[in-house]
Amino acid sequence: MLANSRLLALSSLALLATIAPSLAGCSDDGTNGGPAQGREEGQTEFESAPPVRQGGASFDGSRGESAGDTAAPSNAGAQTPVNAPKPQETDIYRVDGNRLYFLNSYRGLMVFDITNADDPKLLGRSPVYGTPVEMFVENGIATMVVGDWYGNAPDGSPFHGSVVRTVDARDPANMKVHGEVQVKGWARDMRVVGQNLFIVSEDYGWHYGVWYGGYYGGGLAGDVAYPGGYYGGTSKVVISSVKFGNFAPTMNSTKEFDGYSGAFNVTSNEILMAHDVLADGPQGSKQPTGKSAIDYFAFSQLDGALIPMGTFEVDGLLNGWSADNGRWNIDLDGTTASVITCAGADYGYCRGQGGYKVTTIDFSNPASPQKLGTLDIPSKGWAATARFANKRMYLSPREGAWSPNGQQQPTPVEIYDLSTPAAPALAGSTSINGAVWLFMPMGTDRLFALGNEYGNGYSSSKVALRLLDVSDATRPTVIGTSTFGDGWAWTPASGTFKAFTRDDSKKLVVLPFSGWSSANYEYMNGLQLIEYDTGAITTKGAAKSKGWVERGVFVKNRLVSLSDQALSVIDYADRNNPKVVKELTLARNVVAAEPNGATIAQLSTDWWGYDNKTSELRVLPIANAEENVTDPNARSVSIDGTNARVFRNGDLAYVVTTLYPTTPNGPSYATPHVQVVDLSNGGATLKGSLDLPQETNGSYWSWWGGCYYWDWYDGSSAVQVGGDALAFRRTRGSYDPNTGEYKYDQKLYVVDLSNPNAPKLTSTAITPDSDAWWGNMRVVGDTLYTTHYEWKSKPIANPDPNGATHKYWVRYYLDRVDLSDRANPKVGQRINVPGMLVGASETDPSLLYFVDYRWYDGYDNAPKDEIAVAKIKNGKAYLQSSTLIDGWVGNVFVRGNKAYMSAQEYTQPNQANPYGTSSVKLHEVDLTDPRKPVARASAPKDGWGWLVDVEGDRAIITSGWGQVGLDIYKLTPNQAPVYSQFARTRGWWTNAISRQDGDLFLSTGYWGVQKITLK
């Protein structure tokens, strides 16, 4: 089955699988690293390991913030009570009278007043943790299904799976959560029958650590999860029955099956469940048998209990990753079941090369089902799209048809006759260009085939909706094709029929879509209108709207476009030219939030690329910092550029963005833009602005080779100096084809903002050495420092087996930049220093603090990091002290005369501990006496974590991966840091943290601002 495509968020499993090898790879291989040196007080020359092999670390730099059809199953005959409720679909939206309910991936349940369709208003929202999947709303009671949810099982053990939550939304401004019940695995498909919610989910059999987050056990947090076993492993497909209504939901019944794929067909009182059949393999694993099981369940309307009635095995594997999680690959027509399976590959998954098989089964006696017939179908390509309807099966390659030499061939669309279940047979076929993702029957004689159409030598792919005449199954014909979308276009309807909106009274299909325009260098998202009748199909206009559009909904005389980012109202009276008449922003990528008494300033920027032209600075009442309702008192200004970050100077905000101007030849080269905003009196007023020079082949940031991207990337591309100045680093490279050499132009740009209405720009070179790196800009008082390093090497007496002849290391140099005359910045004498600058003494600016990473000669298996203090005097750095920290150090924050850092310690897997172990400590190094620093560390905490900020007497560390939370430590003078509380977070990462009194404000990207009250 497919993961939820609404949210481009990596699972914790994927992150862990990616990062763990990287951490292991940070140790030295013997070719990097100079001679080990025990540093001594008074030392003035220093050598360091090359930073490109260090282990995920960074330093706290500036205080600036970085940046349809109804899928009604057929009746099962006389067994169905006359008045039994019919199955109903869940979805991400629901229209009920003058209310529109929308389950937003970032913002949770949102309720809108649509009395005036041209002016919808947000009435309230109910945030959720985890990833919203779908919901069902009836009489103002919303029942939501949320996946990727972390928490406790009833017995107190850690739980990762799904939850069903019931919310009373009758008063949207004051929604109340009735309760929730846990469901194993990640929910993939669901149906409602009466007050019973049936869910198919996948439980991947992850192995959990000790605990998640402090609130699970006195601060002992553990790893998120590891994958288990071979194919199948301990993975399960789970079907659950949940009772819901205007009360806390409860679990009726649950059944589990081995394997990955599962799909079901639901009627008013029975369920047909298809899933893998696995056998025991080596080391406790499960392996595919090449068969699938069809299980027949009855259920009671009163208690929803699942009652096994019978099962039947068929040859082939169930394809669970086609549209709607494979639900169209199984059908129940009366008492006859039909299923399409595929021949499995070596690793037990469908790839189409072995062909397909259709099997029909008689379930008139569920306890003793009988096979009626089978039909072998030759390979249709990598995967196939199927749909059972009207005693037929429609079939076509999902990924297009290819010949053995790799050339694209006409794609067959085939119709199989199932009117005689004992003898399924191919009735007829036709051909199209492209692929089919979803079949949507219209009556018994017309068929929509949604897919794509390749063009321009496969450099682009438009969405294609074809209308076929299937009145004669032996001779299907293509009536016409509608194509739309720029570049590589896509539609969510490729994955679910729920995104395919059709109104026969209007003769109109509405499809959400997204595409990339290389000409305009932007995403083109919106709703496409397509007219049809029995004999024609015509592409009409498209309304462009914001975000990856998930649904197009008819609301009164308007269309409403729903994406996680925006609700857009569309006037489609002129179908050739539909217009957006109103747009509400639902989710902003908030990168910074600065509280200021009764208001809070929030900076948002769309760095995913949906809008690479503007950012937004908004000022809201602090009581509505999380934006749970529409606030008429919000003030907002639009700022040119994206990738925004902000620096504060009293009531002035200096916003730095990235512009992407297009050159005459087409390519765009990023350049920084500085905008001054006056935030006085709770307002937001634009002042002066300035663009830095556009450079070809240039960059205003660089990748600094860490093992963990947010520890290093772009961390010090701009800093604030003396309150009213900003400094930028820029590295520009060019290749000379005549000499075969690269040339580098490395400059420092300074923007003087002393006059907020007229910023000024100056620049100077830092180092002419093309092999040298420089960056890590730091401010000590009103002095700007940069760091650069230079490579050093020496021959190896006995070359190692890998052929290395030299050992390499680097020397760090500190560059003091005199900005007393901002029009003429001057670079002072370089000074060899013991590592990267992280801060300075608040009482003596000649005492500087450094961090160095020990990955060489003896440190490979026991990594250590060094916090050093050096006194700058007469052009040299004199070492005052050195403190070694065990493990991989992350961000280093200097507050006053104290340095704070998290350190991750990891034990490699072994036979006794096959998954390895990890723990994190929060370290405080008191540097009040620079020659006698005092190091204190918190108790170790199982799992993974990185220090993200220190705010007053609190230090904040990430807890685990993904949407888990933060561990907050209390800082007390002359004591080691102590764990204080765990706070769940809604986003995948916290961009910035600010504090006002006893509250923290987290900037969590599209999840918005989250307020956490400190204990």
The 10s digit of each residue's pLDDT in 104-140 is 999 999 999 999 999 999 999 999 988 999 999 999 9
pLDDT of residue 352: 60
State how far the alpha carbon of 196 is from the alpha carbons of 242, 311, 648, in Å: 6, 23, 54
**More confident call, 804 vs 4:** 804
Torsion from C-alpha of 715, 717, 721, 727, nearest 10 degrees: 180
pLDDT of residue 375: 97
Element (H, E) at 732: strand 725-736
The 10s digit of each residue's pLDDT in 602-634 is 999 886 656 778 999 999 999 999 998 887 888
Lowest mean pLDDT among 45-59, 552-566, 839-853: 45-59
Q: Band of the pLDDT at 94, cuts 50, 70, 90?
A: very high
Is 68 contained in some domain?
Answer: no
Mean pLDDT in residue range 219-230:
32
Q: Band of the pLDDT at 649, cuts 50, 70, 90?
A: very high
Is 979 contained in some domain?
Answer: no
Q: What's the order of all strands across the beta sheet hosting 131-138?
A: 131-138, 141-152, 158-168, 176-183
Most confident stretch, 230-244, 318-332, 371-385, 536-550: 536-550
For tokens 């723990």, the residue is 919
Task: Tell me how far apart the alpha carbons of residues 933 and 928 are, in angstroms, rounded to a whole number.
Answer: 7
The 10s digit of each residue's pLDDT in 265-284 is 999 999 999 998 988 877 77
**434: which residues sit within 8 A by CB, 6+ positions away?**
400, 411, 451, 452, 453, 454, 461, 464
Give the HSE-up count for residue 475: Cα atoms under 13 Å, Cβ half-sphere. Answer: 1
Note the pTM of the prediction, 2 decimals: 0.84
Is 427 contained in some domain?
Answer: no
Mean pLDDT of the chain: 82
For tokens 């003896």, the residue is 858
Task: Tell me how far apart the alpha carbons of residues 51 and 41 are, in angstroms, rounded to a whole number.
Answer: 24
For tokens 């369709």, the residue is 117
Strand, helix or coil for residue 981:
strand
Burial class (CB in 10 A: 0-12, 13-18, 19+), 30: middle
User: Please, which residues bridge with residue 65 across strands?
Assistant: 646
DSSP 680: G
pLDDT of residue 184: 93
Among residues 646, 641, 698, the alpha carbon closest in space to that of 673 is found at: 641
Is 105 contained in some domain?
Answer: yes
Element (H, E) at 13: helix 12-24
Q: Band of the pLDDT at 434, cuts 50, 70, 90?
A: confident
Task: Tell me how far apart the alpha carbons of residues 831 and 1010 are, in angstroms, rounded to a whole number.
Answer: 44
How many helices and strands in the chain, by DSSP H and E? 2, 72
The two tokens of residue 421 are: 């279940």
Q: How far is CA 80 from the centre of its chain?
A: 44
Alpha-helix residue ranges (DSSP H) falling in 741-845: none
State how far the alpha carbon of 830 is from the alpha carbons of 746, 749, 819, 936, in Å: 16, 19, 16, 33
Count of domains for the chain: 2
- Cβ atoms of 103 and 128 closer than 8 Å: no
Q: Is pLDDT at 194 greater than 60 in this prediction?
A: yes
pLDDT of residue 803: 72
pLDDT of residue 60: 37
Q: Rg of the chain over CA atoms, in angstroms?
A: 31
Task: Tell me how far apart the alpha carbons of residues 200 and 716 are, in angstroms, rounded to a whole number.
Answer: 47
Is 570 contained in some domain?
Answer: yes
pLDDT of residue 55: 33
Among residues 309, 251, 393, 304, the alpha carbon closest in space to that of 76 is found at: 309
DSSP 939: P
Lowest mean pLDDT among 226-230, 500-504, 981-985: 226-230
DSSP 701: -
Quote the percentage of the chain above a pLDDT of 70: 80
The 10s digit of each residue's pLDDT in 226-262 is 333 334 457 889 999 999 999 999 999 999 998 878 8
Question: If you write DSSP's letter for every residue of 405-444 in order, what string do you get?
Answer: TS-B-PEEEEEEE-SSTTS-EEEEEEEESSEEEEEEEETT
**More confident call, 386 vs 809:** 386
The two tokens of residue 851 are: 């961090």
Element (H, E) at 794: strand 783-795
Q: Where are the beta strands (DSSP E) in 836-916?
A: 836-840, 847-854, 864-873, 876-886, 888-895, 898-907
Mean pLDDT in residue range 369-383:
87
State which of 302, 327, 358 marks the end of a domain. Answer: 302
The 10s digit of each residue's pLDDT in 567-590 is 999 999 999 999 999 999 999 999
Mean pLDDT in residue range 559-563:
98
Task: Tell me how far apart the alpha carbons of residues 714 and 725 are, in angstroms, rounded to a whole number.
Answer: 19
pLDDT of residue 1006: 92
**More confident call, 733 vs 563:** 563
Task: Tell me how far apart the alpha carbons of residues 90 and 808 are, in angstroms, rounded to a whole number.
Answer: 61
State which of 259, 287, 302 marks the end of a domain. Answer: 302
pLDDT of residue 327: 93
Return phi, psi of residue 61, to 5°.
-95, -125
For 112, the domain range is: 73-302
Task: Tell me how far apart the alpha carbons of residues 32 and 29 are, in angstroms, rounded to a whole number.
Answer: 7
Is 267 contained in some domain?
Answer: yes
The two tokens of residue 387 are: 């749909």
Cα angle vertex 106, ends 105, 109, to 5°? 70
pLDDT of residue 857: 53
Q: What's the order of all strands across the beta sheet hosting 1009-1013?
A: 992-996, 999-1003, 1009-1013
Burial class (CB in 10 A: 0-12, 13-18, 19+), 442: middle
Task: Tell me how far apart the alpha carbons of residues 309 and 808 are, in angstroms, rounded to a whole number.
Answer: 71
Amino acid identity, position 436: V
pLDDT of residue 150: 80
Is 35 contained in some domain?
Answer: no
Is 686 contained in some domain?
Answer: no
Among residues 86, 185, 100, the alpha carbon closest in space to that of 137 is found at: 100
Task: Tell me how far apart the alpha carbons of residues 896 and 953 are, in angstroms, rounded to a whole number.
Answer: 12
**More confident call, 533 vs 801:** 533
State which of 302, 319, 346 marks the end of a domain. Answer: 302
Element (H, E) at 35: none
Q: Is pLDDT at 725 greater than 50 in this prediction?
A: yes
Task: Tell me how far apart the alpha carbons of residues 295 and 298 are, in angstroms, rounded to a whole number.
Answer: 10
**More confident call, 30 vs 411:** 411
- Cβ atoms of 794 and 732 closer than 8 Å: no
The 10s digit of each residue's pLDDT in 921-969 is 999 999 999 999 999 999 998 888 889 999 999 999 988 765 578 999 9
Element (H, E) at 12: helix 12-24
